[in-house]
A and B are shown apart, each in its own frame.
Chain A
Amino acid sequence: MSEECGEVKLIDEQGLRTDGRKPDEIRKTIMKVGVLKNADGSSYLEQGRNKILVAVYGPEELHPKHLALPDKALLQCRYHMLTFSTDERRSPAPSRRDIELSKVIKSALEPAILLEKFPMTTIRVLVEVIQSDGGTRCAGITAASIALANAGIPMRDLVVACAAGKVDGQYIVDLNADEDKLGEADLVVAIMPQRKLVTLIQMDGSLTLDEFKKVFELAKKGCYELYNIQRKALLEHYEKVAKEVSQDDISK
């Protein structure tokens, strides 16, 4: 936790983090679905200073054909950070990290989608990070899951992801960029909340078994809080229309 310029304190004397949150508090999160007209499904997510836009296309015909799978659809995910998403300009070309995170997001979503319903086809998930502040893979998975539901793609359950970790000897949930970089360890967990299944688990740093259990429980708690926001966003999208229609009827 020490840098050349001196000690960086990520948790102050009052037990608050750099952005004023308590250790077990997730960032303020806003989710919306159906934000893009041209995509089959879409979503927008703001988690703290993270801003993420997801578009879903498919199931559709797959080109080149030799990639097609005879028994299920091929899930293609692309995670991409826009050039202005970070402090310094990023190259628009996919980096090694982008390619890795695309694969990670695919692995997290795959168990939830009923791919076997659409053999020989493809489903494309495009995750664009507009502004990044740590935890974009989790935010990408969470946003992609509601975009898939919005596209009408059959799923076993929604998928929600959240990170937890150890910073200054304390266990914290939903790490921001500084905590991610300077913390002792972080654990990314993606779950299917209704089925109670884990679809992704990824760890950086080192934790004892006891610490791992505590951090895992904290990440799971964060996932369930985000799941409630996911549900609210999806239900609001459809119930909004019902409210508008009933208001039209009243005004007549």
Chain B
Amino acid sequence: MKTSKGAIFLPGDSLPIPPGYKVIGSFSEVRGKHVICTTITLVSIKGTTIKLVPLKGVYIPNVGDKVIGIAKHISVDHCIFDINSPYPAILQINGFPTKSQSRIDMREQFTVGTVIYGEVKGKFGPYISLTLQGPELGILSKGFVLEISPVKIPRFVGKRGSMINMIKDMLKCNILVGMNGRVWIESDEYEIIKIIREVIDKIERESHVSGLTDRVKNLIAARLKELGVSK
């Protein structure tokens, strides 16, 4: 299997697709036998797969995405959330996780600033429709919300959750990841939040440089050592 290290491509740059190769990744256009990058992209070739990873981009919601939203407008029967996307999201009563939906007043459930972990259900007019029905979904009552570039979320999670599981294990905290570039952390210690903030900054800056998981592991270990926690 032939593997090549990633190269940075700029908008308009094209790459020929050899016969039998497939292209994985967003923010690109396939034109005939060429793939054309539309954003600053890290291109790597592994075997017969050309992988395109954008280094910067905005969050465009897809059905099934789990997102972290912040309430910004509340009405009797619906609530509008900011989901870090160009499109605001709406949660209607039918998306609420209770059977007696007819008796719900949204104004009693949410205030401006309430944080939720919801799932994208589809579109509703100009809004993105959300639901809170599902495991893990609901109102996040305590914890911190940190932001990361949405295109770096796969790097934050890692292959089969390797990065996030390592962070959870080392820092003994609960983390929920929204595909919209928001990360919710539940921990009693403020120092842990500070370490995760530092980890996020490192991922944002160095996601295109190989060996990131090891560097993050070393960073957490160093910070824990400074705090006097043996690992």
- List residues 172-211 of chain A with CB under 8 A from any CB of chain B: 192-195
Contact of B39 among A40, A154, A193, A246 (CB under 8 A): A154
Whether A149 contacts B86 by the Cβ 8 Å rule is no
Known contacts A155-B39, A238-B55, A238-B208; A120/B87 CB under 8 A: yes
Say yes or no for B46: interface residue by CB 8 A criterion.
no
A249 to chain B, nearest CB (A): 8
Interface string of A120-155 (1 = CB under 8 A from B): 110000000000000000000000000001111111
- Any A CB within 8 A of the CB of B11: yes
Measured in the bound complex, the distance between the Cα atoms of B205 and A68 in whole Å is: 34
Q: Does B206 contact A (CB under 8 A)?
A: yes
With contact pairs A61-B88, A152-B151 given, residues A194 and B208 touching in the complex (Cβ less than 8 Å): no
In chain A, what residue has the closest Cβ to B88? A61
CA distance A60 to B59 in the complex (A): 10
Given A61-B87, A121-B86, A234-B40, answer yes or no on A152-B8 (Cβ-Cβ < 8 Å). no
A222 interface hit (Cβ, 8 Å)? no
The reply on A114 being an interface residue by CB < 8 A is: yes
What bracket does the count of chain B residues touching chain A fall in? 20 to 34
Q: Report if B12 contacts A (CB, 8 A).
A: yes
**Which residues of B lie under 8 Å from residue A195 when comparing CB positions?**
12
A157→B208 contact, CB < 8 A: no
Q: How far is the CA of A142 from the CA of B14 in the complex (A)?
A: 21
Q: Does A118 contact B (CB under 8 A)?
A: yes
Q: Are A150 and B56 neighbours in the complex by a CB distance under 8 Å?
A: yes
Contact among B36, B57, B87, B205 for A241, CB-based, below 8 A: B205
Asked whether any CB of chain A lies closer than 8 Å to the CB of B124, the reply is no
> Nearest Cβ distance between residue A193 and chain B, in whole angstroms?
7
Contacting residues of chain A (199-252) with chain B, CB-CB under 8 angstroms: 231, 234-235, 238-239, 241-242, 245-246, 249
Distance in angstroms from B180 CB to nearest chain A CB is: 13
Q: Is the CB of A152 within 8 A of B54?
A: yes
Are B206 and A149 in contact, CB atoms less than 8 angstroms apart? Answer: no
A234 to B56, CA, bound (A): 12
A61 to B89, CA, bound (A): 11
- Report the nearest B residue to A150, measured CB to CB: B56
Which residue on A lies nearest to B27, using beta carbons?
A: A154
B38 touching A114 by the CB < 8 A rule? Answer: yes
| Nearest chain B CB to A80 CB, angstrom units | 24
Q: Tell me whether A242 and B12 are in contact (CB under 8 A).
A: no
Q: Is there a chain B Cβ closer than 8 Å to A158's Cβ?
A: yes
Q: A151-B56, A153-B39 are in contact. Are A158 and B87 (CB under 8 A)?
A: no
Cβ of A58 < 8 Å from any Cβ of B? yes
- In the complex, are the beta carbons of A152 and B206 less than 8 A apart? no
Q: Select from chain B the residue with minimum beta-carbon distance to A239.
A: B8
Contact A155 B206 (CB under 8 A): no
- Given A120-B126, A149-B11, A194-B14, also A156-B209 (CB < 8 A): no
Of chain B, the residue at the smallest CB distance from A231 is: B10
Contact A157 B87 (CB under 8 A): no
Contact yes or no, A61 B86, CB < 8 A = yes
A123 to chain B, nearest CB (A): 9
Nearest Cβ in chain B — how far from A32, in angstroms?
A: 15
**Interchain CB contact under 8 A, B39 and A241:** no
The complex places the Cα of A12 from the Cα of B173 at a distance, in Å, of: 73
Which 10 interchain pairs have the tightest Cβ spacing?
A152-B56, A157-B12, A194-B12, A121-B86, A154-B38, A155-B11, A152-B57, A59-B86, A245-B209, A242-B209
Seed contacts A120-B126, A152-B56, A154-B11; 13 additional CB < 8 Å A-B pairs: A59-B86, A61-B88, A73-B86, A152-B39, A154-B27, A155-B11, A157-B11, A231-B10, A241-B206, A241-B208, A241-B209, A245-B215, A246-B209
Could you list which residues of chain A lie within 8 angstroms of chain B, going by C-beta atoms? Answer: 40-41, 58-61, 73, 112, 114, 117-118, 120-121, 149-158, 192-195, 231, 234-235, 238-239, 241-242, 245-246, 249
23 contacts between A and B (CB under 8 A): A59-B86, A61-B87, A61-B88, A118-B60, A120-B87, A150-B40, A150-B56, A152-B56, A153-B39, A154-B57, A155-B12, A157-B12, A158-B11, A194-B14, A234-B10, A235-B8, A235-B10, A239-B8, A241-B206, A242-B206, A242-B208, A242-B209, A245-B209
